[in-house]
């Protein structure tokens, strides 16, 4: 692990984890991440960001000024289903889209507690179908997400499979939240080691999202969903995260259902570390790996002559 990553871990434990453990107002959580994203996360030059309508709501479209290939990354941001926005994750997606030569689309899905489950999931599915209705081929779409956004990305995949809809080329998740029942051992064993997420607040955020809906519903906890026939899935998580077992057990379930899985468990990196691509080399390396994987999945759908 780099010296910069060690410093970042200490800073996150002292500032971010302390803030998340104390903040109870969703508006305060939202303002905080928006401010920090503007301060620390910066997109590369040569990338255009434009708001557009997608499935009846705003979405942020990010693409190289020089033009993008056919690949589209439909990305669902994290934030515990309560905070975060396309703006907070725009720099990371601009960095990824530039590496792939792709267009990234980040829907503004409805947040809790204002929105009731499954509104955010339904909107995410609608956003995917809207891209297809616009003429984007499903084989040119990769769905991604981090944390709660990873939860939504996997739930979208399960919904697509269950309804027999056209499948995307692949799905990728960064530190995904897959089990809202919090039954993984790492939720307890990594409670102190995790430098970002306070385990003590997860039940509160879960209740804001579910409003009493059963946490073991596969649409809420995609760890329990069926994935037979799914396209390849790429997963990354840090070994000190409380969500470590959410990712490891999901990889096992996907493999059992015959899905091709790429799993990366990184040593002592913080929750969704690729957000810090401006700060630590490990983030850049992970985005490089992910970009190569996305390019491989979409290229596999190009017909041979």
Active site residues: 147, 241, 271
- End-to-end alpha carbon distance in the chain: 45
Q: How many whole angstroms separate alpha carbon 112 and alpha carbon 291?
A: 31
Q: How many whole angstroms separate alpha carbon 293 and alpha carbon 289?
A: 6
**Within the chain, where are the H helices?**
3-14, 16-22, 26-40, 86-100, 119-133, 148-163, 186-189, 202-210, 244-256, 281-299
Radius of gyration of the chain measured on its C-alpha atoms: 18
Q: How many whole angstroms separate alpha carbon 74 and alpha carbon 129?
A: 11
- Give the three-state DSSP class for 219: coil
Q: How many whole angstroms separate alpha carbon 294 and alpha carbon 184?
A: 29
Instruction: Report which of 162, 141, 3, 160 is spatially closest to residue 75, judged by C-alpha positions.
Output: 141
Q: Give the C-alpha distances (Å, rounded to integers) separating 226 from 102, 184, 218, 223, 259.
A: 29, 19, 8, 9, 11
């Amino acid at each position: 692990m780099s010296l910069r990553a060690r410093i970042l871990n200490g800073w996150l434990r002292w500032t971010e984890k302390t803030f998340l453990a104390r903040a109870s107002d969703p508006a305060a959580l939202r303002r905080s991440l928006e401010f920090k994203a503007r301060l620390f996360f910066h997109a590369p030059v040569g990338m255009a960001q434009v708001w557009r309508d997608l499935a009846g709501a705003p979405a942020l479209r990010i693409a190289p000024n020089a033009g993008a290939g056919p690949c589209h990354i439909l990305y669902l941001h994290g934030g515990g289903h309560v905070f975060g926005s396309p703006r907070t994750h725009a720099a990371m997606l601009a960095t990824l889209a530039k590496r792939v030569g792709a267009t990234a689309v980040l829907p503004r899905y409805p947040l809790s507690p204002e929105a009731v489950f499954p509104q955010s999931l339904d909107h995410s599915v609608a956003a995917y179908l809207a891209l297809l209705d616009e003429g984007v081929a499903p084989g040119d779409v990769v769905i991604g997400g981090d944390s709660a956004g990873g939860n939504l990305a996997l739930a979208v995949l399960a919904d697509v499979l269950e309804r027999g809809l056209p499948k995307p080329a692949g799905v990728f998740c960064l530190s995904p939240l897959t089990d809202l029942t919090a039954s993984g051992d790492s939720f307890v064993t990594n409670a102190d080691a995790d430098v970002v997420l306070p385990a003590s607040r997860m039940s509160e955020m879960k209740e804001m999202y579910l409003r009493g809906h059963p946490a073991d519903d596969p649409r809420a906890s995609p760890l329990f969903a069926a994935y037979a026939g799914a396209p390849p899935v790429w997963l990354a998580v840090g070994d000190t995260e409380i969500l470590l077992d959410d990712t490891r057990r999901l990889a096992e379930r996907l493999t059992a259902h015959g899905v091709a899985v790429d799993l990366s468990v990184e040593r002592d990196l913080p929750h969704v570390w690729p957000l810090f691509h401006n700060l630590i080399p490990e983030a850049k390396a992970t985005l490089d790996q992910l970009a190569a994987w996305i390019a491989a999945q979409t290229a596999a759908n190009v017909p041979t002559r």
